[in-house]
Every structure is written in structure tokens, then in C-alpha cells.
Amino acid sequence: MKVITQGQGQGRSNDRDSQRMTEGRRLLEGKWMKRYNDLEELRSKDARLAANTAIVLENQERLLMSMNEAVVSTKFGALAQSLLDVVRYGYPNSFVSDWVYTVAMNGPTDLVTYIRPIFETTHSPDSITAGDEIGKKVGKTYGSEFNTDAVGTGDGTEVDFTATLSIVPVRESTIKIFVAGVQVGQDDGEGHMVGMTGDDDLTGTIDYDAGSLVLAFKAAPANLAAITAEYYFDSESAGSSELKKISLQFTTIPVVARAWKYVVEWSVDASLKAAAALATNIEDEVTLAAIAALKSSREVSAIEDMKRAAGSVDTTIRFDYTLQTGVGIGEHSQGLRFALSKAGSTIQTAAGRGDISWAILGTNLKPWIEQVPGFVAEPSPVPIGVYKIGTLGTVGVYINPYFSDADYYLAGYLGPMPGDAGMIIADFIPLYTTPTLEHSDFIASKGLMAMYDKKIVNSSYFKLSEGYSSK
């Protein structure tokens, strides 16, 4: 199997991705697992996510170390000691990594590679052209010695045709001649061509070594009738050049860390009262709330991009809320399971592979999914923003209260290969904050920023549909 690259960076990007993961593993094992023992458990579950976590922790620490102690204290306050903890537990636990391919950037600009398996050899029997993606085309005879060649086209008068079969030597007694898709002749294993209904309906010769084919029809093939030859070639004698090849195509895209910013404000008066009465640091509380908001905006903006990529509502996979007479809610909820399963089938049809890996539901669908037999609820869901409600078989199920229509659901596929996803999110700096400013009106403020990029790479991995009432 050969590797093919395309896009900006070409082969350099493959090295860059390999170097990124090598560096991530080095940082993980040599440094960050010593600070956070539970990173070893994360590595056992998802080695790539653990390596990415180590890289973003390193980026975050590098930012802190670039400032002197006074600046760090001014910018981060009491959060300075716990900031890395926020990144450590926030980054790998974001739901985004359940839906899309995430990667840590080594700098503010980077190259990210995603992989597609492709056929490298054109194979006409399966209508495969070199470069076709595996899955979107199926190689039913791709790896065999089977081949098809065009011999000619009838015009209603011509009876004699010659052709040279494209792959030689040809195996004896394997040649079949077709006219307009109907078999009319074959070889006899001794270099002669014979008809199906009588030896004189079709005569001719075949040179098995050279592939030279001569055909003489008793009755002229009809006008525009395609004349084709199917046969098996001897792959051992034909040589390796005739073996069908499969490749991995590495497509590279540039990513640029883009800023996502919030400004948080609080009253100095309220801060003093909270510190005295509740022993609470209002600045820290507001900052943590802003961090949660940054996380939420990352998830919601990703959902909106995926929804937009999915296109209009697919009406063939909708779920009907309307109860039929004599049917209970539990039984009727099976319709939602069927709709999600069919969404997976439509993804597979459109993309050539995949199924449904996750489903993000509007709030109106929540009570229905909870009634589906086999649904396993999360033991302690946190219903703030987008949250995971449970699993249905292998499908992670999430609730999004921010859909423009509470009846919507978005289904998607996340594959096992690097970049085998509908979207890629590349993270650079998880969290940056400006110094705190106290204004003359006794309002304090500071800015927070995260830096990352996101790209849609395969919109066929997403399906948008809805619940509705037929009555």
C-alpha cells in the first residue's frame, strides 16, 4: 500500500503530524504524567487525546513562563496556581472531541492532515477510477484477476471485429463475449472463439499470450450495441504492475489560531462584600464562569458549523411524535431509535462508510430518547449548556438547548483513522487573560481569550433532521 499526499505542505505535513504526536508523547511521559497521575489513565483510554493534552498544557505553561511573577499575579490572580488544572481537566473532557477530530497546534499556524483510503488503480468492471475513495466505490472484483475490455460497437452491418485484450497472458477457458450485456460466445480453451447457441453463430481466435482477439459474427450486432470481453488474466505471469493497488491519501489543510474573546465585569463593591461575608473571591468566580462560557461557545459553534454543513432537514429520517391508538410511549419511542439508525444508513450511503457515532438532540426530543429501550442514562448529568444525557448502544447522546428549533437533531460519524471526521478543530492556547482593570465607576473588568481553528472537511458525515407531529 502506497501513501499519496495532496494539499499544501504535501509530504512535509505527514512528518509534521508524526512529529507532533512524538513530541506529545515525550511531553506526556517525561513531564505531565508526573504532575497529573491520572493522565496515565487518559492515555490508556485515548493515547492521541492524552498526547494532545500534553501539548496544550505545554503551550499554556509557556505562556505563563513568558511573563514575570508580577505580571502572572496581575493577569491571573489567585487562579494562577490552578490555571493549568483548568486546562488539564477542561481540554480532554470537552464534548467536542466526541464529535470531531481534535488536534493540538504546535504554533499559531500549523498544518493538519486527514486520511482517506483510495483505489490507486482504474478498474473498469467495478467502474472504479484511480483516486476514487474506498467506500464510495466498492471493489467487488478489484483484487481478483478479473477484467473487462471493450471490443467494439455494432452498427447493424459489420460482422468482423478485432481487439487486443489489455492484460495478458489470458487464462484459457475464461473469456466471455457479450453484446449489449448478453453473453453470445466464449473461448474453447484452445484458442478458438465459439458461439453459445451454435459454433457458427460466433467464430474467431484468441492468442492467450498476446491478447489478440478476432471475432466473426454470423449476424451483425445491432446498431450501437456494445461488444465487450470478460476474462481472467494470469497475475503471476502478468507481473506486479497489473496488481490492483490501494493507497492512503493524506490531504493537508492549513490552520490558523483564531481568537475567541470575552470581557467579564464585576462590581468592586460587590466583590468587597462577598469577600467579607462569604469568603468568596468574586473575580475568581466570574473568571471561572467566563472559562465555562468559552468552553460552551467552542461546543455550540462547532454544532452550528456541523448543522450548517449538513444542509436542510432530511425528511426521510424524521421522528413522528404522534401516538397511535393502543401504542404506549415506550413502544412508540422505538421510532426515534429507527430514525437515528436510518440517519446512520444515510451517512454510510453518502460517505461510503461510517454510521452514527453520536446524536445531538433538541430539548423536545429529550423525553422521547429517555423512553427508548436500551437507552442508558448518564449517572450524574450536568444540565448546563450542551451536556451528555446518555448512550444508546454505542451512540453518545447529547442535549443542545441552543438549537434554533427544539425539535432538531444532528447525527454524525467520527471514524477511527486520524482526521476521519466531518470537522477538524485545532487548539493552540486554551486560555489567555488580560490584567484586571478597576475603573473610576468602581466596575472591574478583564478579558479572556482562547485560540483555535475549526474546519469542515467532510459534510457527508452529518445529517440533520427533526421530530414533528403528523396530526
Helix (H, G, I), strand (E, B), or coil: what is residue 451?
strand
Regarding whether 367 and 220 lie in a shared domain, the answer is no
Number of domains in the chain: 2
Determine what percent of the chain is predicted with pLDDT higher than 70: 89
Q: Are residues 158 and 195 in the same domain?
A: yes
Based on the fold, state whether residues 168 and 267 are members of the same structural domain. Answer: no
DSSP secondary structure string for all residues of 7-23: ETTTHHHHHHHHHHHHH
Within 13 Å, how many C-alpha atoms sit on residue 393's CB side?
Answer: 11
Backbone dihedral region of 249: left (phi > 0), alpha (psi from -120 to 50 degrees) or beta? beta
Residue 459: inside a domain, yes or no? yes
Give the CB-side neighbour count of residue 199, counting CA atoms within 13 A.
Answer: 3
Q: Do the domain assignments include residue 51?
A: no
12-26, 361-375, 420-434 — most confident range = 361-375
Per-residue pLDDT, 303: 96
Between 65 and 448, the higher pLDDT residue: 448
pLDDT category at 197 given cuts 50, 70, 90 is confident
pLDDT of residue 5: 44
**Quick one: 173 and 89 in the same domain?**
no
For residues 459 and 421, state if they share a domain: yes
Query: Is 426 within 8 Å of 110 (Cβ atoms)?
Result: yes
| Residue 86 pLDDT class (50, 70, 90 cuts) | low
Residues 302 and 430 in one domain: yes
Do 236 and 156 share a structural domain? Answer: yes
The mean pLDDT value for 117-122 works out to: 81
User: 131, 137 in Cβ contact below 8 A?
Assistant: no
Is 100 or 65 the better-scoring residue by pLDDT?
100
Pick the residue with more confidence: 22 or 410?
Answer: 410
Whether 39 is in a domain gets the answer no
Residue ending a domain, among 243, 276, 297, is: 243
DSSP state of 383: -
| pLDDT per position as a tens digit, 363-388 | 999 999 999 999 999 998 888 889 99
In a domain, 201, yes or no: yes
Structural domain boundaries enclosing 270 = 77-115+257-468
The answer to whether the beta carbons of residues 428 and 108 sit under 8 Å apart is yes
User: Could you tell me the three cell numbers for 446?
Assistant: 478583564
158 is a domain residue? yes
d(CA 411, CA 342): 10
**Distance of alpha carbon 276 from its chain centroid, rounded?**
52
Question: Do residues 187 and 285 both lie within one domain?
Answer: no
Q: What is the pLDDT of residue 37?
A: 80
Give the predicted TM-score (pTM) of the model: 0.69
Question: In whole angstroms, what is the distance from residue 39 CA to residue 27 CA?
Answer: 12
Question: Could you give the CA distance from residue 421 to residue 96 in angstroms, rounded to a whole number?
Answer: 12
Of 217, 243, 269, which marks where a domain is finished? 243
User: Do residue 444 and residue 336 come from a single domain?
Assistant: yes
Q: Which of 230, 221, 223, 88 is nearest to 150 (CA)?
A: 230
The grid coordinates listed for 470 are 403528523
Classify residue 102: in a domain, yes or no: yes
Regarding predicted confidence, which is higher, 323 or 281?
A: 323
Residue 170 lies in a domain: yes
Q: Both 411 and 288 in a single domain?
A: yes
Residue with cell 497472458: 169
Mean pLDDT, rounded, of the chain: 84
Across residues 179-189, what is the average pLDDT?
A: 94
Q: Would you say residue 401 lies in a domain?
A: yes
